[in-house]
Each structure stands twice: as structure tokens, then as C-alpha cells.
Amino acid sequence: MSIGELFDTCDATGIAAAVKRGEVTPGELLDEALRRVATLNPQLNAVTMLQEDVARRLIADGLPEGPLTGVPFLLKDLGAEAIDFPSNNGSRLFAETRYAKDSAIYARLKAAGLVTFGRTTSPEGGVGPTTESAVYGGPTRNPWNPGHTPGGSSGGAAAAVASGMVPVAHGSDGGGSVRIPASSCGLFGFKATRARLPDGPYVGEGWAGMAIDGFLTRSVRDTATLLDATNGIDLGAPYSPPPLEASFGAALGRRERLTIAFTTTNLTGDPIHPDCVAAVEAAAKLLESLGHTLVEARPVADTRGMMAAWTKVVACGTALSVEGAARRRGRPIAEDEIEDVARSAIAYARGVSGADYLESVNKVHAYGREMADFFAAGGYDLLLTATLAEPPARLGRFDHAGRDYVEYRMGKGMVFDYSPFTAAFNASGQPAASLPLHWTADGLPVGIHLAAPYGHDERLLGVCARLEEAAPWFSRRPSIRA
């Protein structure tokens, strides 16, 4: 089998097994990944901050013996701080930011044997369901249709994996930023229970505990492998999740009959796009065929109120980041250093008092209790919805130019209407996943979304593995691909 065939027919776990058997070397795999980036990135604009010399050095120094030794890998250009990998954080203000120490998540990825060689594009500050940041000179495009967004904020990671540049990539999720791109690019995206993965040492928590790292993959097995390699709190973490029953890898073999709630509306009862309805209905039938009991039910929770609180928390996080940078360098932010959504978010945050901020955090926490009560009172093991309320949006609809921050988040037809499901589970801290089980008539992916009670990551992953068996998606590839 050629290296190109290996990339196309094996997931990352399978590629690592080929390395272990001596069938391919890490250097050959890196050569192939770099070739694919050179070929595809001019069309997609998904990869940035290439560090080939660092990757060559990692290989020459001897890679750790881990579950993914030799597999080429990309970090999101937001978070995952690493000495060897400067970052733009999606912004001209933070271009070429360098770090004095490695983040815990990167240290664990490195120990897994991955060969990191660059970063993937993200929107400024990780805000929004698209990836069109000015620092990259143009939008990141969806390999299924380049006129549409690959999602955000891990849009570059999703475009890179879906097109076959790399088998897996790092992402992060503060309001759906792994699951939205997974849905938009026909991939698997899993958001673990709050604090399941480490945040340190640079932050104790992101966006009041709503943000967490994650991965974009083409197989459930790869996500399990990556989660097992990285899960667990880091030194000094402010809180910890319930312990795993066994491991993510062991969860792949779970076979249970569950009671699953589902809704074909959004969480406030409003209609969603017919393709998203069709995706949910087909998934419900598939789950029934696998022996599960499906019950039509929708959480009675103040989702819109939670999103208004989420909007305040994120605005304050944006102000902290940007104004902190201005203070450290001793001069104000220039007009062209940040985009309009960030500038508007900072102005909005100035009107949020400390008491307002804490009230917003309390609202988010109250929402988590409302969601927990829905699962417990109804006896539901999972909740099935669409991942997004529409198929992937056209580029430009959610860019940051000329936007008022609150309108961008909460206005009619804007972010909350487009993505009304994913942030709910960042707020509640519950595990949730997007699975690529549906495509529109014109070939755009539409994900379905499953969420589980707090701490029940393994149960959720097991169901995802059974759905992958029943309706495999690995071989389905976009029009722009290696």
C-alpha cells in the first residue's frame, strides 16, 4: 500500500499501527502531509504557521512510544500553547505570539507520539460559527463546497481533516467550536464533560468553564485514542470531572439499550431547516433499529436566557484578552489590529459590571441544573437533535466585518438561530457529539447531535461507535481532497 493509500484508507490509529509494524516511517508520513498541505491549502486556506523544521527535529530526536507515534498532526491556532509553535490566536493583534512553556494538552499530545508541524485557522478570539479571520488573508473554505463555511471556531482543523491533509487535528469548543465544524465538514466531533481535559497552565478555565479542548476526526476510534492520551486534570486545576468507569477505548465496545429523547425543533421549539429535520428523523429510526427506545421530548429550560448570559461571559473574556494585551505592551489597540465583532464585544463588556458578570455565570450554572433535571426526571440516557439548525452557511454570512457583537450573537438569523443546540452543553458541561449521518441533495454535510448526562462520556462514545458501525461514513469524501 502506498503512503497516499494509507492516508486515505486508514484512520490515525491505523496509521500509527503501520508505523509500529515498520511499514512506513514518521518522516515519510510528514512528507506526505506537507505535500497535501501544499496542494490543498491554496484552495482551502486551512493551515497556517507551518513549522516543518520543528517536526523534523521531533522525529530526529526520537518520538515517544505512544498510541499515535509518527502520525502528522496540527494544532488549532487558538490555545494549545507550545514553545515550538507560535500562534496568531486568529487575530492580527496576537500574530506570532510565543510561549515560555508548553500547555498540558500539548505536552500530552506530544507524549502520544504525534508529529505536530503547524496550526489551523480560527476566527478572532474563537468567536463565531465560521473561520474568516483577517489575519489569514481570506476565509477558510469548506472542502465539500468552497462557497460555504467549514464552521468555526475549529474550521481550519475540520477543513484540513476532511480534505485529507492530516488524519486528525486538535480543536477546542466553547460554544460548539468542535461540533459545528464537524457537522459542516462531515466529521466526528466530541465535546467531553467539563474539565475532562486539562486547561493549564495558562488558564484555570475558559469562558467560565464553558470551553474545553477536543479533536476533529474521521473515526470514533481516533477520538477515543486521543481522549485517552489527553484526559485528566492538570496540576492545580480548579475542579475535576467524575472519574471514568474504564477508558474511552473500552467504551468503543459498549452495547446498551437506552432511552433517548429527541426533538425535530430547536431547544426553544422553533422550526429548523428541513434537511436538519430529516437528519434527526433518520437518526431516530436508526437508533430504534439498534434497540433503543426513542421518545419525542424537549428540555424545558431557559435556553435563550442562557445564551444571553453566555454572550456577556464571552464579551468579558474578549475584553480581558484584548485589553490585557494593550496593558502589557503599554499602548492602545490600533484600528486595524482587531475586527469589528471583537471591538464591539469590548464596548459591550464595559457596560457589564462585576455583579452582572457573576449573575451571568449563575444563570449558566442554573441552566446546567435545568438540563440535568430534564435527563433525570425523564429517565433519558441521551438527547438527540440536529447539530445546527441549517446546513453549512455561505461564506460572508457570519464574518466579523461591520458587526455589532450582540446582534451578531442574538439577532434574527444570526449565530443563536443558526447554532441553537451546541452551546447548551458547554453551559451545562455535559458531553456531546456531532456525527456525520446526513448529506443534503447538493452534497453538503448535516450532522446529528447527541448529548448525555454529566460525566457519562463513555456511554455517549459507545453509542457513537454503534452508529458508525451501522452507517459508516469514513469513505465518504468531499470534492476538494488529496
pLDDT digit string, tens, across residues 334-350? 889 999 999 999 999 99
| Sheet with strand 47-48: strands edge to edge | 47-48, 115-120, 72-76
Task: Kindly state the average pLDDT of the residues 112-116.
Answer: 98
Task: Kindly state the average pLDDT of the residues 433-442.
Answer: 98
With 90 as the cut, is the pLDDT of residue 17 above it? Answer: yes
> Where does 380-439 have alpha helices with state H?
405-410, 415-418, 422-428
Task: Kindly state the average pLDDT of the residues 16-32.
Answer: 98
- Determine what percent of the chain is predicted with pLDDT higher than 70: 100
Identify whether 476 is part of a domain. Answer: no
Identify whether 350 is part of a domain. Answer: no
Confidence (pLDDT) at 339: 97
Is-contact 186 387, C-beta < 8 A? no
177 is catalytic: yes
With 90 as the cut, is the pLDDT of residue 1 above it? Answer: no
Distance CA(432)–CA(450), nearest Å, equals 6
Q: Confidence class of residue 329 from pLDDT cuts 50, 70 and 90? A: confident
Distance CA(259)–CA(192), nearest Å, equals 21
- Determine what percent of the chain is predicted with pLDDT higher than 90: 96
Helix/strand/coil (H/E/C) assignment for every residue in the chain: CCHHHHHHHCCHHHHHHHHHCCCCCHHHHHHHHHHHHHHHHHHHCCEECCCHHHHHHHHHHCCCCCCCCCCEEEEECCCCCECCECECCCCCCCCCECCCCCCHHHHHHHHCCCEEEEEECCCHHHCCCCCCCHHHCCCCCECCECCECCCCCCHHHHHHHHCCCCCEEEEEECCCCCHHHHHHHCCEEEECCCCCCCCCCCCCCECCCCEEEEEEECCHHHHHHHHHHHCCCCCCCCCCCCCCCCCHHHHCCCCCCCEEEECCECCCCCECCHHHHHHHHHHHHHHHHCCCEEEECCCCCCHHHHHHHHHHHHHHHHHHHHHHHHHHHCCCCCCCCCCHHHHHHHHHHCCCCHHHHHHHHHHHHHHHHHHHHHHHHHCCCEEEEECCCCCCCECCCCCCCCCCHHHHHHCCCCHHHHCCCHHHHHHHCCCEEEEEEEECCCCCEEEEEEECCCCCHHHHHHHHHHHHHHCCCCCCCCCCCC
CB within 8 A of 387, min separation 6: which ones? 176, 179, 180, 182, 183, 421, 422, 434, 446, 447, 448, 449
Q: Confidence class of residue 434 from pLDDT cuts 50, 70 and 90? A: very high
- What's 169's domain CATH number? 3.90.1300.10
Identify whether 142 is part of a domain. Answer: yes
- Give the range of the structural domain holding residue 180, as residue numbers without chain letter: 3-302+361-470
153 is catalytic: yes
Is-contact 339 133, C-beta < 8 A? yes
The predicted model scores a pTM of 0.98
Q: Confidence class of residue 324 from pLDDT cuts 50, 70 and 90? A: confident
Please work out, in degrees rounded to the nearest 5, the angle formed at the alpha carbon of residue 410 by the alpha carbons of 457 and 260: 30
Neighbours of 28 (CB within 10 A): 14
Give residue-wise pLDDT tens across range 185-219. Answer: 999 999 999 999 999 999 888 899 999 999 999 99
With 90 as the cut, is the pLDDT of residue 326 above it? Answer: no
For cell 518520538, what's the residue? 63
- Kindly name the residue from 91, 153, 219, 360 that is annotated as catalytic: 153
Is-contact 163 429, C-beta < 8 A? no
Identify whether 354 is part of a domain. Answer: no
Confidence (pLDDT) at 133: 97
Distance CA(424)–CA(123), nearest Å, equals 21
Distance CA(414)–CA(406), nearest Å, equals 10
Give residue-wise pLDDT tens across range 210-256. Answer: 999 999 999 999 999 999 999 999 999 998 999 999 999 999 999 99
Give residue-wise pLDDT tens across range 52-89. Answer: 999 999 999 999 999 999 999 999 999 999 999 999 99
Q: Give Cα 226 to chain centroid, integer Å.
A: 13
Task: Kindly state the average pLDDT of the residues 19-33.
Answer: 98
Distance CA(86)–CA(94), nearest Å, equals 10
Give residue-wise pLDDT tens across range 351-372. Answer: 999 999 999 999 999 999 999 9
Output DSSP code: residue 270.
-
With 90 as the cut, is the pLDDT of residue 330 above it? Answer: no
Output DSSP code: residue 217.
E
Please report which helix (H) or strand (E) contains residue 391, including its range. Answer: none
Neighbours of 186 (CB within 10 A): 28
Number of domains composing the chain:
1
Identify whether 176 is part of a domain. Answer: yes
Identify whether 367 is part of a domain. Answer: yes
Confidence (pLDDT) at 331: 84
- Kindly name the residue from 177, 184, 321, 434 that is annotated as catalytic: 177
Cell numbers of 465, please? 461507535
Cell numbers of 18, please? 503501520
Task: Kindly state the average pLDDT of the residues 452-467.
Answer: 98
Is-contact 372 454, C-beta < 8 A? yes
CB within 8 A of 156, min separation 6: which ones? 45, 46, 47, 48, 76, 77, 119, 120, 121, 122, 131, 140, 150
Identify whether 320 is part of a domain. Answer: no
Q: Calculate the average pLDDT of the chain.
A: 97
**Residue 106 amino acid letter:** Y
Q: Confidence class of residue 332 from pLDDT cuts 50, 70 and 90? A: confident
Identify whether 406 is part of a domain. Answer: yes
Is-contact 392 130, C-beta < 8 A? no
